[in-house]
Every structure is written in C-alpha cells, then in structure tokens.
Amino acid sequence: MRWFFGVLVGLLVAAGVYVGSAIVSLNGLASAAKAGDGAAVLARTDTTRLRRSLVDQIVSAYLAQLGQNRPVKPLERLAANTYGATIADAMIAKMLTAENLTSILNKGEINAGDTNATMYRLSEIDASSVFETLKRISPTKPVEFAIKFGNAHSDGGVSMHFEGNGWKLSGIQLPPTAVQMLAHNLAMGRRGNG
C-alpha cells in the first residue's frame, strides 16, 4: 500500500513540474513580448511549427472561401495545398520577423504585406496568476498545450510545444477575421501569379 501512495505522490509531483514548467515558459514568452525583445521571442519560438500552423489556417480558410459558391474540385484542392501553401508561406515569412512576431504577441497587430488585422494580445495574460492561467490552458497533445486569449475560441490564442530543453511557441490561432483577410490575399496572389 505504501508503494501505491509513493507512486501517486511521484505522479503528482511530475504533473506539477510539467504544468509549472509550461507556465514558467509562457511567462517568459509573455515577458519577452512585453519588453519588445524580438530576439528573446524568437529564441522561445519553434518557427517551423509556427509557420506550418499559420499556413494551414490560411489555406483552410482559402478553401472554405473557394467552396462557398460551388464544390471545390480535387485538382483545385491539390493546387491550393501546394502552390497556395507556397504563396501563404511567403506571406507568413513577412509576419515572422522578430519585430512583427513581437508586435503580434505584444500589441495584437498582424501585419502581412497590405493586410492589417488585430487580435487579443499574449501580453494581456498574467502568467504569474497561476489559477487564471490554468483556466486558459488546454492540453492538445502530451507535449503541446493551447492558451486561449479571450473568453471565446474565436478570440485567438497560442500553442506551446515541449521540445528538448523547454516549451516553445508553436502556433498562433488567429481570429477568423484575420484568417479571412489573409486567405483573401492568398486568392489575390494566386490570381496575380496565375
């Protein structure tokens, strides 16, 4: 019976360390964004995952826009997922500079070429308030969790992924209006290049 309680205590301690390290990393990212320290924000970011997350959101919204008036043909879907993703990736590259990423997290300003949108800010979250932060966190995978910004999922949020030595920013859930604007730019870019 003693070993059962020992294992239970060990699991609780491990869970506490796991959640605590996530909150500490989130606080570090929020502090770097508040301070306007782009280098520190990039150091706490998995840019490959973040880029993929944003491109997927834009291409999905583009396909939804395309399918509003008629069914999307398989060849169109393939083109959007390949060629469209390339254009979206170029748009996202402009967003993921140290300065722009810090602005997104600190001020909620999304700038990608001629697209400007706003969203809730990571800097609004007080990660030092543990219970308030825990209400915002939802695990998505054993090594990933999402943090919602506002009161609704549509308010946006971020994802953090555990990688080697700590938690890193791996996704930004853009509000629907921002995704729609970026998808519209994708459509304009495809028409301009096609």
**Tens-place pLDDT, residues 63-86:** 887 777 777 777 777 777 777 777
pLDDT per residue as tens digits for the range 139-159: 888 889 888 877 655 567 889
Q: Does residue 170 contact residue 159 with C-beta atoms inside 8 Å?
A: yes
User: How many C-beta atoms surround the C-beta of residue 70 within 10 A?
Assistant: 8
Kindly state the average pLDDT of the residues 119-146: 80
User: What CA–CA distance (Å, rounded) separates 92 from 97?
Assistant: 9
Does the pLDDT at position 92 exceed 50? yes
d(C-alpha 192, C-alpha 83), whole Å: 13
Contact 53, 159 (CB under 8 A): yes
Amino acid at 99: E
